[in-house]
Structures are given as structure tokens and as C-alpha cells.
Amino acid sequence: MTRRQKNAAATRDALLAAARRRFLEESYENVGLREIAGDAGVDVALVSRYFGSKEALFREVMRKAPSEALNPDISPDRLPGWLAEMATREDGSDGVNIERLLIILRSASSPKAARIVQDSFREDVLDPVAALIRGDEPEMRASLALSLLIGTTILRTIMRVDAICECDSTAVRARLERLLAVALSDGAAEER
């Protein structure tokens, strides 16, 4: 008697989805393959079979994250509001965009995941934002804006700071949006 139908693709997807869910809530080494397999309803050994190793599974999770961190078709002037809304969105809502960043932050200090996480951050988060910015030193300004996004995300999700967590108050969002606009603004151009 086997609990599960024999469907390799479905099992692989289930493992991938379960892994993504776990890596979203714990760091790389705090997620066990037995937990992931348990969530997917299969045995641990299938992880090795389908992905080769835990590190490869994590890489696959990073590669196939359902939504990119940045929607490329957005006008630069709407970027602050878009980032601010992303940063202050409730966890339960459809705020899927922040999830990749959250996975990155969770496993940022994990030696075996560090390389993967650094590459994913640069390619999927930093570069898209920097590409949208016009003016001097776009990468620096994008980094400062993303620092805000990263910081607020950590304060909300990990540090549980009440002053930031209460997201229904639009004050935080408005203030954050204004800050992001300043961070992204072209300082050299303003010195006219």
C-alpha cells in the first residue's frame, strides 16, 4: 500500500513547493529534508533522487521562485510607491513579490547557501531595480532603496517591531514611500 500515486513530475513539484514554504520560514540549515519530504507526503530519499542534494534543491527553489522580485514593466516614478507597498504588505495577502527576498534574508548567513543567495540577490533583486534608475550611480541608489526594503522586512518579519508591523496604518507606508523617493532620487541632478 502506497499513499501516493506514482507521478514523478507531481512529486517533484510537491517537493519543490514544500521546500519553498519551509525555506520561507527557516534558514537553510534549520530546514530538514525530512520536514520537506513530510510536507510533500513522500520519503526523504526522493529529494536526493530528484534534486541530487539539499544544496541543489535550494538552488532550484531560488531558480524557480514563482514571481520575480521586480516586475520589469513599471515606470521609474512609480517605483517608490511600488516598493513601499511591497514592504508594508500583509503576510497573508498576495504579496508574493517579497517572498524571494525573504528567502534570501533567511538564509543569508548560511555558509552553504551564501553563494546562491548572493547571486540571486544581485541578479533578481538588485540589478532589476538598478536598471530602472536613470542618472548617476544607479547601483548605489538602488542599494540604498533596497536597504530600506531589507531593513523594514527584517524588522517586521524577524524582529517583530510593532511600530513597523502595524501595516494598516498608512502612515508607515507614506513615510517609507517618501524615503524611498529620496533614496532613489538623483542627487547630482538636484544640485542645479
Partner DNA sequence: AGCTCATGTCAACGGTCGTAGACATATAAA
Partner DNA sequence: TTTATATGTCTACGACCGTTGACATGAGCT
Q: What residues make contact with DNA under the rule CB under 7 A?
A: 1-11, 29, 31-35, 41-49, 52-55
Q: Which is nearer to a copy of itself, 12 or 156 (CB)?
A: 156
**Cβ contact 116:59 at 8 Å:** yes
Q: Which is nearer to a copy of itself, 36 or 150 (CB)?
A: 150
User: Which option in DNA, a copy of itself, none does residue 182 bind, with CB closer than 5 to 8 A by kind?
Assistant: a copy of itself
**Cβ contact 185:120 at 8 Å:** no
| Closest separation in Å from C-beta 189 to a copy of itself | 13
Contacts of 85 (CB under 8 A, 6+ apart): 173
User: Which option in a copy of itself, DNA, none does residue 23 bind, with CB closer than 5 to 8 A by kind?
Assistant: none
114 binds a copy of itself per the rule CB under 8 A: yes
User: Which option in DNA, a copy of itself, none does residue 85 bind, with CB closer than 5 to 8 A by kind?
Assistant: none
107 binds a copy of itself per the rule CB under 8 A: yes
Rounded Cα–Cα distance for residues 39 and 15 (Å) = 8
